[in-house]
Amino acid sequence: MRYCLQFPNRAAKVLSEWLGDGRFSDFGVYAEEAGFDAVSVYDHPFPEDGWIRYGHLSLDPFVSLAAVAERTERIKLMTNILVAGYRSPYVAAQALATIDRFSGGRLIVGLAAGYLEAEFAALGARYAGRGALLDDAIAAMRDAWSGQSVDREGPFAAHGHTMFPTPVQQPVPIWIGGNSPRAMRRAAEIGDGWLPLSVNEAEAAVSKTPPLLSFEHLRDRIDAMARLREGTGKGPLDICFSPFERYIRDWDEATAAIAANRERYAELGVTWMTVVASARSLEQLRGDVGRFGDSVISNDPDR
């Protein structure tokens, strides 16, 4: 099992107070010291006010990950998730390639179609047909990352354009977020990983994605993904799950539950686990991730 630490989703609103005398990049330094394998950030540049109560506030993912890259050595840098439709795929591709280059090849690009129609509208982005546009955006980004002159038709047509810098990684790993059948097919057909999410009924109604409430649900989805992937003739996918324990408010209680259930997740086929930080300050986060590293990561028999 590998472990990713997600930046606490409410800290963006009170960032100065949350950081105290520290720097944002300390978030990545502390995660690396604790043994985490990756850090990740959300992508919500301009959500509507009524939706913010769900907590998915966000710092800019490109700036945030670049800051972490400069002060860490081994930890992976993940967008979880980047909404492809919020910006030109070529603008995103250059920013992502720059992060991969600066970090020495540590980027994981988590992408999804998105679901906040009001945010799409405020950003001047196209909501209708966003799934098909995501497919085209992924192909366009991969073309741009080649360092060769791009000549392509479609929504992101380009004739005789070249992008630099190129990423260190060739190819850059792209993991697809979402629980829906279309997201699963996308991950199986063109992705390198899949980012399913534990979702209760209320969250499912907001995010317009199927609920995922139990280990039985997770087993069924992973089995379905295995069949989809097998049909493509490609190798196995990484599966990075945001676990059921994220609903436990107490950090140490959640940590103990993750340790108890880790083997069960692994047996189902989960290869990565995203743990969402809940600390109310950077200093508290340092202690939280240290205890998680001691009780979960250091005691993982497969590491």
Beta strands in the chain (DSSP E): 2-6, 38-41, 76-83, 107-112, 150-152, 158-161, 174-177, 193-195, 238-241, 272-276
Q: Exposed, middle or buried by CB within 10 Å (0-12, 13-18, 19+), for 155?
A: middle
DSSP state of 4: E
Query: Is the confidence at residue 52, as pLDDT, over 80?
Result: no
**73 pLDDT more than 70:** yes
> What average pLDDT does the segment 107-127 reach?
96
Per the prediction, the chain carries an average pLDDT of: 95
pLDDT given for residue 278 in this prediction:
93
- 37, 108 contact by CB (below 8 A): no
Give pLDDT, residue 200: 86
**If you average pLDDT over residues 187-191, what whole number do you get?**
98
Least confident of 20-29, 40-49, 201-210, 218-227: 201-210
Mean pLDDT, residues 112-131 taken together: 96
Q: What does the pLDDT read at residue 150?
A: 98
CB neighbour class for 97 (10 Å; exposed up to 12, middle 13-18, buried from 19): buried
Predicted local distance difference test score (pLDDT) of residue 55 = 59
The mean pLDDT value for 145-160 works out to 97
Q: How far is CA 299 from the centre of its chain?
A: 25
The residues facing 174 across adjacent strands are: 109
| Closest residue by Cα to residue 279 from 253, 250, 239 | 250
- The single-letter code of the amino acid at 60 is D
Taking residues 55-61, report their average pLDDT. Answer: 82
Q: Give the model's pLDDT for residue 243.
A: 93
| For the chain, percent of residues with pLDDT exceeding 90 | 89
- Assess contact for 292 and 23: CB atoms under 8 A: no
In this prediction, residue 224 carries a pLDDT of: 97
> Is the per-residue pLDDT at 207 higher than 90?
no
Q: Is 227 left (phi over 0), alpha (psi -120 to 50) or beta?
A: alpha
292 contacts 274 by C-beta, under 8 angstroms:
no
For the entire predicted model, the pTM comes to 0.96
Domain 2-297, second-level architecture: Alpha-Beta Barrel (3.20)
> Which candidate, 199, 201, 182, places its Cα nearest to that of 191?
182
Res. 3: pLDDT tops 80: yes
**pLDDT band of 51, cuts 50, 70, 90:** confident
Peptide bond into 61 cis (omega under 30): no
Answer for the pair 152, 160: CB distance below 8 angstroms, yes or no: no
SS (H, E, C) 209-266: CCCECCHHHHHHHHHHHHHHHHHHCCCCCEEEEECHHHHCCCHHHHHHHHHHHHHHHH
Q: How high is the pLDDT of residue 240?
A: 98
Partnered with residue 76 across adjacent β-strands are 38
The Cβ of residue 54 has, within 10 Å, a number of other Cβ atoms equal to 13
Evaluate if residue 54 carries a pLDDT over 70: no
Strands 193-195 and 107-112: unpaired
Helix axes 26-34, 282-292, angle to 10 degrees: 20
Q: How confident is the model at residue 283 (pLDDT cuts 50, 70, 90)?
A: very high
Q: Are 226 and 269 in contact (CB under 8 A)?
A: yes
Which secondary-structure segment (H or E) carries 100?
helix 89-103
Assess contact for 258 and 296: CB atoms under 8 A.
yes
Segment 287-299, tens digit of pLDDT: 999 999 999 999 9
The rounded distance, in Å, linking the Cα atoms of 123 and 88 is: 11
